[in-house]
A and B are shown apart, each in its own frame.
Chain A
Amino acid sequence: MSTVISALPIDFAGAIILFWLALGSIGLALQSRPRWITLLIFPASAAASLLLAATGLWALGETPDVALLPLGLPDLPFHLRLDALSAFFLLLLGAASFGITLYAAGYFRSMPGGTLGLLTLEYHVFLASMALVLVADDAYLFMVAWESMALSSYFLVTTDHKIPAIRSAGYLYLLLAHVGAIAILLCFGVMQGGHGDFTFAAMRASELTEFWASAAFLLALFGFGAKAGLLPLHVWLPEAHPAAPSPVSALMSGVMLKTAIYGLLRVTFDLLPMQLWWWGVLLLTLGLATAFFGVVFAAVQSDMKRLLAYSSIENIGLILVGIGLGLLFHSYKMGGLAALAITAALYHCLNHAFFKGLLFLGTGSVLHATGERNLGRLGGLMRRMPWVAWLTLVGTLAIAGLPPLNGFVSEWLLLQAFLLTPGLPHSYLNMLVPVAAAALALAAALAAYVMVKFYGIVFLGQSREEKLSEAHDAGIWEKLGMGWLALGCLALGLFPVSVILRLDAVTQLVTGHALGATAAQTGWLFLTPMAPERASYSPLFFLIVIATVVALTFFAVRRFYHGRLKRGPAWDCGYPAQTPRMQDTAEGFGQPIRQIFEFFFKIEREVPDPFDREPRYHGKTEDRLWYWLYLPVARVVERASALMGKMQHGRIHVYLMYSFVTLLVLLAFSR
């Protein structure tokens, strides 16, 4: 295909990045005409996203391209490289941002011009820098792109900067992003192995001892983990994602977290010369802890966006479990199993971008229509906002891991990777693997609980507040954006074999083995990761059978009996005064989980007395890690800075003495 079109995929990617930056600047210039921004800029940006997705898809099947830009440092120009791993994540970025940008075209139509112009600039710089992170081939460009991604997302998070809670959320986010960036920088420093050449090609070729390779891995885990939301570096996620406007939350949860996963994959499998088994075990354990933590906390939230943020933490945990498992198998040279685990992890990345993006966009519409984020003030929105409700239902079923949608496929692949008798050398590891599978099954089951709570309380039941009867459904742009993502969920769920065949190039790059041949051995209809007798799954079959039975039953019942229907009041068991507030609140629905997992949380509850004239209920569920880890660290840092501050006492001759002593020392030692 490269002979017909004289340009390479990497040229397209570069052009799209420049186009986005241009759109951002134009958006800033057009801030006096917000209509033009929402009707021209955002749709054009969406089109560019779609083109980027197509480029990524095209580049998956091609050989890696390299490009060199004359910008950058004098002896280190910007290196760009588009290989299968970058291409996959570019596909993810393009496909998810297409839906999200279309949605944003409608969502921001009521925003004032000044804010909108700035937002457009920040939004496009964000998109461009994410794409640049994915194609960077040297440490300098990577860090420049990484930092601009962090900064632009910080400004996006603090769009409503007049609210103090949002400002502090943004501050926490920026702080942790920079702590992570320092770790990544140090990691690059270790990996260049003393040659001074910071290009990735040189890092691939450098020889590191086990000690330095492990040090680099741990630094990368810390740095990329801070961006991905790994336990215990996750505290910024539940603050920052809800604070941002909904399309931005969708982009951050769906795409930005995946750039951290990309970074981890790139460093561990591509740049480091060896992969040790205990890295895999560490990643597996941390991933499981993160997944469990995320889902248990999600179950007790009463703010719908915080619930989704914690759910993102859970899904990142699942992805890291897949990567850890793949790392473990790869270090023991079990290529086929490693390919299965990595395929599951990558598939889950793609799935999460789609269904989490869809869910955040749904909450955005709800927020826009009702002004409420608190689950205790929503309810019954299915009647007022049917389009949003049905599309969000697709996202909910997908994230709960139900067949035949996409969430189930990646969870299925991951469980298969656990089960296909590992036969690892250490007997401890052999026994740990089924226990890990058990923990995974538990986390997945809890995710279904959380999502039933989320969907049921927001969209089903009766409205808990009267003003909800004025809620309006989403506009055409929002419907298009959400529809695209819902369609993606469905397609990824129904045609897993085609997706896995495309993913082959990536797993081949990462582990040296590919799953596609075995997965497709009985045709495109059945997914058979190892052999048909071992396991097979056909989602299309599911859908056809269920749909057929539903249709046949419907017509049979009508034909042989009747379809008469009456409406009446709901069953009230004889209680006359039923109000909508007697439904479950968010805390009520999550109460069993809160009771079973009490030791995870730091709970403060104020329960009213039965004789109270004005009863009040107040409940606060907090993260223990904040008190155990972050506050002590903050105290130590403050004390250290206070000590440093003692050096500054304003007396000029002391400062002159500092300079004098330094001069003497330098003269003495520079001979």
Chain B
Amino acid sequence: MPMTLSGQFINLLAALLLLIAFAMLSQRRILSLINLFALQGLVLTISTLIVAYSTNQGHLYYSAAITLVLKVIILPWILHRLIRKLNIQWDIETLINIPTTMLIGIVLVIFSFNLALPISQLAGTVTRATLGIAMASVLLSFLMMITRHKAVPQVIGFLAMENGLFFAATSATYGMPLVVELGIALDVLVGMFILGIFFFQIRETFNSMDLRHMEKLKED
């Protein structure tokens, strides 16, 4: 079925988003994870801009600007500084059986695609077909948080989940009210600062960023 050029471009960017979510699932190096997260933010910005242009929704331009500043510039900068301070920037962690994780990822993708199909038919936006991909990236980021056992990658998974939710909002309802967006952005920023402090504490207590050490905290 013939689709407008902007519609096709948005589909392509959605596919790219899914690809980045999978890539983050299988990435071992923390440095590449942060770069992938920044790339995800960039893809999100471009797609929001296209939606803003093709549907003439003014507030989406501001949305895109906030995303660009926060997710492509500020947050990656904070993360880079954090890992330099913690001295883990060249860290490579071992992952739990990559093929199995990828297979579970595929199952999650099928699940979210099927879940999204009836909802897509109800939504009235030009990007409704991408709702499934948005849900899939949320679930994949969640999976990423589960399968990691170092602190920083888990946090990146949490941030990627927020990205997925943002994309879902854009595709289903042309973005959230600006007030809500500003509130979420502020929450994320403050959260990063607090988590940074936590990381230093964890490192001091266990001398490592491996979260499996937290099991020692339980009472025996």
Contact B113 A431 (CB under 8 A): yes
Contact A431 B106 (CB under 8 A): no
B97: min CB distance to chain A, Å: 8
Task: Please tell me if A435 contacts chain B, counting CB pairs below 8 Å.
Answer: yes
B198: min CB distance to chain A, Å: 35
* Segment 591-627 of A: residues with Cβ below 8 Å from B: 596, 599
Q: How far is the CA of A435 from the CA of B109 in the complex (A)?
A: 12
We find that the number of chain B residues with CB closer than 8 angstroms to chain A is: 7
Residues of B within 8 A of A432 (CB): 110
Task: Please tell me if A428 contacts chain B, counting CB pairs below 8 Å.
Answer: yes
Contact A435 B99 (CB under 8 A): no
Q: How far is the CA of A464 from the CA of B100 in the complex (A)?
A: 38
Residues of A within 8 A of B113 (CB): 431
* Segment 632-668 of A: residues with Cβ below 8 Å from B: none
Give the interface centre of B100, B113, B114, B117 by most chain A CB atoms within 10 Å: B114
A432: min CB distance to chain B, Å: 7
* Segment 428-464 of A: residues with Cβ below 8 Å from B: 428, 431-432, 435
B106 partner, pick from A427, A428, A435, A596, beta carbons under 8 A: A435
Would you call the interface of chain B mostly helix, strand, loop, or mixed? helix
Contact A427 B99 (CB under 8 A): no
* Segment 398-432 of A: residues with Cβ below 8 Å from B: 427-428, 431-432
Residues of A within 8 A of B100 (CB): 599
Contact A428 B99 (CB under 8 A): no
Q: Can you name the residue of chain A whose Cβ is closest to the Cβ of B111? A: A428
Over the window 91-118 of chain B, the binary record of Cβ atoms lying under 8 Å from chain A Cβ atoms (1 yes, 0 no) is 0000000011000001000100110010
Over the window 183-213 of chain B, the binary record of Cβ atoms lying under 8 Å from chain A Cβ atoms (1 yes, 0 no) is 0000000000000000000000000000000
Size bin of chain A's contact surface: under 10
Q: Can you name the residue of chain A whose Cβ is closest to the Cβ of B118? A: A427
Q: Can you name the residue of chain B whose Cβ is closest to the Cβ of A597? A: B99
Contact B110 A431 (CB under 8 A): yes
* Segment 93-150 of B: residues with Cβ below 8 Å from A: 99-100, 106, 110, 113-114, 117
Over the window 239-264 of chain A, the binary record of Cβ atoms lying under 8 Å from chain B Cβ atoms (1 yes, 0 no) is 00000000000000000000000000
Q: How far is the CA of A57 from the CA of B99 in the complex (A)?
A: 48
Residues of A within 8 A of B117 (CB): 427
Q: How far is the CA of A584 from the CA of B74 in the complex (A)?
A: 56
Q: How far is the CA of A599 from the CA of B103 in the complex (A)?
A: 14
Residues of B within 8 A of A427 (CB): 114, 117
Contact B114 A431 (CB under 8 A): yes
Q: Can you name the residue of chain A whose Cβ is closest to the Cβ of B107? A: A435
Residues of B within 8 A of A599 (CB): 100
Q: How far is the CA of A599 from the CA of B110 in the complex (A)?
A: 24
Residues of B within 8 A of A435 (CB): 106, 110
Q: Can you name the residue of chain B whose Cβ is closest to the Cβ of A430? A: B114
Residues of A within 8 A of B106 (CB): 435
Contact B99 A596 (CB under 8 A): yes
Q: How far is the CA of A435 from the CA of B106 in the complex (A)?
A: 9
A298: min CB distance to chain B, Å: 20
A292: min CB distance to chain B, Å: 12
Q: How far is the CA of A596 from the CA of B102 in the complex (A)?
A: 14
Q: Can you name the residue of chain B whose Cβ is closest to the Cβ of A431? A: B110
Residues of B within 8 A of A431 (CB): 110, 113-114
Q: How far is the CA of A432 from the CA of B110 in the complex (A)?
A: 8
Q: How far is the CA of A432 from the CA of B111 in the complex (A)?
A: 10
Q: How far is the CA of A427 from the CA of B117 in the complex (A)?
A: 8
Q: Can you name the residue of chain A whose Cβ is closest to the Cβ of B110? A: A431
B108: min CB distance to chain A, Å: 13
Q: How far is the CA of A427 from the CA of B110 in the complex (A)?
A: 10
Q: How far is the CA of A428 from the CA of B113 in the complex (A)?
A: 9
Q: How far is the CA of A391 from the CA of B115 in the complex (A)?
A: 53
Q: Can you name the residue of chain B whose Cβ is closest to the Cβ of A598? A: B97
Residues of A within 8 A of B114 (CB): 427-428, 431
A87: min CB distance to chain B, Å: 42
Q: Can you name the residue of chain B whose Cβ is closest to the Cβ of A596? A: B99
Q: Can you name the residue of chain A whose Cβ is closest to the Cβ of B100? A: A599
Q: How far is the CA of A427 from the CA of B99 in the complex (A)?
A: 26
Residues of A within 8 A of B110 (CB): 428, 431-432, 435
Q: How far is the CA of A177 from the CA of B72 in the complex (A)?
A: 65
Q: How far is the CA of A435 from the CA of B114 in the complex (A)?
A: 14
Give the interface centre of B99, B106, B110, B113 by most chain A CB atoms within 10 Å: B110
Residues of B within 8 A of A596 (CB): 99
B29: min CB distance to chain A, Å: 23
B217: min CB distance to chain A, Å: 31
* Segment 4-35 of A: residues with Cβ below 8 Å from B: none
9 extra A-B contacts, CB within 8 A, seeds A431-B114, A435-B110, A596-B99: A427-B114, A427-B117, A428-B110, A428-B114, A431-B110, A431-B113, A432-B110, A435-B106, A599-B100
Show 12 residue pairs from A and B whose CB-CB distance is below 8 angstroms, ordered by the A residue: A427-B114, A427-B117, A428-B110, A428-B114, A431-B110, A431-B113, A431-B114, A432-B110, A435-B106, A435-B110, A596-B99, A599-B100
List the 5 closest pairs (A to B, CB-CB), nearest first. Answer: A428-B114, A431-B110, A427-B114, A427-B117, A431-B113
